[in-house]
Amino acid sequence: MDLQALRAAGRPSLATRHALLAVPFAMIALVTVGDVLAPPDVHLGPFLAAAPAVTASFRGPRATGFIGAVAVLAQVVVAAVRSSVTDLNHTFQIITLVLISVFVTLFAHLREVHEKELVQLRSVAEAAQQVVLRPLRERLGPLRVASVYLAAAADAQIGGDLYAAARTAQGTRLIIGDVRGKGLEAVGDAALVLGAFRAAAHQEADLPGLVDYLERAVAPDLDQAPGAGLDDTAGRTPGPDHDTAPHSPSPSNDLSEAFITAAVLDIPDRGQALQLVNCGHPPPLLLRGNRVIPLEVDQPAPPLGLSDLAESQLAAQGFPFEPGDILLLYTDGVLEARDEAGAFYPLAERAAAWNGTGPSALLSHLRGDLLAHTPTGTLDDDAAMVAIERLRPPAQRGAAHP
């Protein structure tokens, strides 16, 4: 989406704005005629100030200034018809209308400048999304992939959630993660993790080695967080997700805020299984027919950046992943979406009720259902979902669809 398209997305169309321009002209005409026909002691001229004020709400300074000039001219005509332009009452009305027109024209200019700045920020955010959170390819070897990202911040394109995929000689490696925190710092940490994953996905022979590389790449950066290195975090054990993770008891201790949950997977092209290392992230869901199976690992690893606080032996666990299965990866922003009664979004239940086909259709359904679950149609936290389907071999697909 280019700059012009972004601007068009945030304002009425050109045809609509031209049609709206008839409103202030009609207001000027009605007030002018009414003022001319009104009794001598009735003055409708002050209502002409509404015309440039209305114009400033949907057009720029040029159109606003033009409408203001037309309104002033109409006031002069009314003064000349009713008495005289030099009449004290009409003189003050004309001066006041000129001042009001100047002020609303200035405000229209400031609004237009702010609008351009906002469009530029949106354009930069989209560019950052394309660089940091690259779109996943629809086909990765024997896998069909779809993804969706929903940023909680208004007008944002990217936040602290992350996902990526890398093709290797043996298969496909994927990561989905969630940076603790929000704002630009969360985006920077997400970029750090994604960069480390893309650099090491082709180099590390096994999955625990890849996760160890991510930990070593992330930990030095997170150590620079405000409050890092304080002794009052000793003895704390991070929980498996954000709800049970350690929370800072005071503004001086932010170390517990600096971590990243992640699920790292290795899906070989051959065979019917996958390998998973879960670093404090919500478990992936395996959709097989009408069943939804959470892939809970026996030995979860601590979130990235917290290995010094909770020693753990990294180990990859295998799970069946057969042709026709769909694997759903997600962040906790999906689970934490609440309805009007405060109930969390039942992801597993809604995924089990889905009866469509293909990862794209699944995510389209879940996205609409998730937003409909919230009272305002927006989320309080960033949310990301990735769906991966293992395709059947060509021979099996031909047999299944003669």
Each residue's pLDDT tens digit, 151-204: 765 545 556 789 999 999 899 999 999 988 666 677 788 888 999 999 999 888
Q: With 80 as the cut, is the pLDDT of residue 220 above it?
A: no
Q: With 80 as the cut, is the pLDDT of residue 47 above it?
A: yes
Average of pLDDT values for 232-237? 39
- The pairing of strands 273-279 and 317-320 is antiparallel
Tokens 């990235």 locate to: 304
DSSP state of 46: G
Average of pLDDT values for 209-237? 62
Which percentage of the chain shows pLDDT scores above 90? 50
Mean of per-residue pLDDT scores for the chain = 82
Higher pLDDT, 394 or 170: 170
Average of pLDDT values for 68-94? 89
Q: With 50 as the cut, is the pLDDT of residue 248 above it?
A: no
Higher pLDDT, 309 or 14: 309
Average of pLDDT values for 315-321? 95
Higher pLDDT, 227 or 11: 11
Average of pLDDT values for 113-118? 86
Tokens 């009866």 locate to: 355
Contact 240, 282 (CB under 8 A): no
User: What backbone torsions phi and psi does residue 328 show, to the nearest 5 degrees?
Assistant: -110, 115
Confidence of residue 229 (pLDDT cuts 50, 70, 90): very low
383 in the Ramachandran plot: left (φ > 0), alpha (ψ -120 to 50) or beta?
A: beta
Average of pLDDT values for 383-390? 95
Which of 59-68, 117-126, 231-240, 268-277 is predicted with the least confidence, judged by mean pLDDT? 231-240
pLDDT computed for residue 153 by the predictor: 58
Confidence of residue 263 (pLDDT cuts 50, 70, 90): very high
Tokens 């975090």 locate to: 233
Whole-Å CA distances, 359 to 204, 245, 295, 350, 373: 28, 31, 18, 15, 21
Indicate the Cα dihedral angle 22, 28, 34, 36, nearest 10°.
Answer: -140
Higher pLDDT, 380 or 164: 164
Q: Which of 99, 114, 141 is nearest to 60 (CA)?
A: 114
80-89, 128-137, 156-165, 348-357: which has the highest mean pLDDT?
348-357
pTM: 0.65
pLDDT digits (tens, 9 = 90+) for 268-308: 999 899 999 999 999 999 999 889 999 999 999 999 988 77
Strands (E), 112-245: 139-140, 143-150, 161-167, 171-179
Give 342's Cβ-side CA count (13 Å radius): 0
Average of pLDDT values for 359-379? 92
pLDDT computed for residue 126 by the predictor: 65
Higher pLDDT, 311 or 339: 339
86-95, 223-232, 317-326: which has the highest mean pLDDT?
317-326
